[in-house]
Amino acid sequence: MVNILFLLNELDDISHTRMTLDIVSSLDKRKYNPYVYSLKRKGSLEKEFKSLVKEHFYISSENVIGDVLSIKNIISKSEISIVQTPALRSDFTIFAVRLLYFGRRPFFHIAVRFNYLFKNISLYHIAKKILYLISIRIADLNVCVGKHIRNRLIENLKIPSKKVCFIPNVISFGSEKLVEDNLGKNFNLKRDIPIILYTGSLIERKNTVFLVKCLALVKRPYYCFLVGEGPERKKIAGLIDQLNLKGKIILTGYFRHISSFLKIADIFVMPSKDEGLSLSVIEAMHAGVPSIVSDIEGNRELIGNLKEGLVFPLQDSKKFTSEISLLLENQELRRKLGENAIRKARKLYNFKKMLNEYDDLYQNVLKE
């Protein structure tokens, strides 16, 4: 039995936490014994993690030294063989734990890379980017969720290829529950009007304010659901009122499961400024919903223009608006792109395939 510690930054419903939850729930329990430690108290996925790992679930003391000592104690007492981390804070926590072993390496550290922070160098982020570079070099292995992230680590940062691999981030779509079957009735939607969907955080990086401004320029009838929460919600709500979009753009708040929204959506939009590999877009692909995405590396890896969706130049409001209008008026094109998206998602972004790749990875690590 192999004991694996999944060290999380938080328990909120974000990409790396959702992916970890599904990995923990689906691991072969005859081979692996998962432990979970969160560096932040409380979060929307806390109960689900607790029910999965029970006595092997730990929450931060909210004291850095206390966390380091607690994690070292868990690793030593439980004979942890592998530690997996998703972000800078957890990376450096494990680095501090390792220092307490005075040169011994009792566990193998796998760091999952969900983004590439060196893409746009700026003074504001320079400290974080230096820490990112250090964390890449101190991890035993960097698992990149996008091919573009892997390529940049090897080509731009000269990380040895043996310390880098690619496994896409996918969640178990079969576990999605239908929490609402009558969304159209509940939101008083008129029939035969196409529905645009965005799911994700309402934050600056996701470009949701830009999305609302562009939707104001669309002349054809539509409804748009913005499913998620974040610091830009208040600004977006004000913009919806200001641009007379009330009733057309609907802020739904947070939903744990979004399958019911995908079921009624005609178009999915992701105008992000930066992405690793968007779980939201992958979910839309599995549901057969064509996506309109910004032309950035993470999105291009998923969506080919006029293949699985449409791609517009980042921040080009005129082009984005015209792409939305094109799909709103062309049902046949939506159908064709949606079918292509399903095929690609099932082939390349399959949860069982990802789980098998992690299983192979863990077994190879143990051989070392």
Strand order in the sheet with 32-38: 57-59, 32-38, 2-8, 82-85, 108-113, 141-144, 164-166
Distance CA 209, CA 307 (A): 27
**Can you give the pLDDT at residue 317?**
97
**Can you give the pLDDT at residue 174?**
52
Angle 233-242/208-215 helices, nearest 10 degrees? Answer: 10
**Can you give the pLDDT at residue 257?**
84
Distance CA 182, CA 261 (A): 10
Q: What domains does the chain contain, in order, with CATH numbers?
A: 2-170+350-367 (3.40.50.2000), 174-348 (3.40.50.2000)
Three-class SS state of 181: coil
Sign of the dihedral defined by the CA atoms of residues 143, 11, 348, 328, in that order: negative
Per-residue pLDDT tens digits of the chain, which is 368 residues long: 999 999 999 999 998 999 999 999 999 999 999 999 999 988 999 999 999 999 999 999 889 999 999 999 999 999 999 999 998 899 999 999 999 998 788 899 999 999 876 555 556 567 778 888 899 999 999 999 999 999 999 999 999 999 999 999 998 865 444 444 566 567 778 889 999 999 999 999 999 999 999 999 999 999 999 999 999 999 999 999 999 999 999 999 998 889 889 999 999 999 999 999 999 999 999 999 999 999 999 999 999 999 999 999 999 999 999 999 999 999 999 999 999 999 999 999 999 999 999 999 999 999 87
Distance CA 233, CA 342 (A): 31
Distance CA 352, CA 23 (A): 10
**Burial of 63 per CB tally in 10 Å (0-12, 13-18, 19+):** exposed
Helices within the chain (DSSP H only):
15-26, 46-53, 64-78, 88-99, 126-138, 147-155, 183-186, 208-215, 233-242, 259-264, 279-286, 297-302, 317-329, 331-348, 351-367
**Can you give the pLDDT at residue 182?**
60
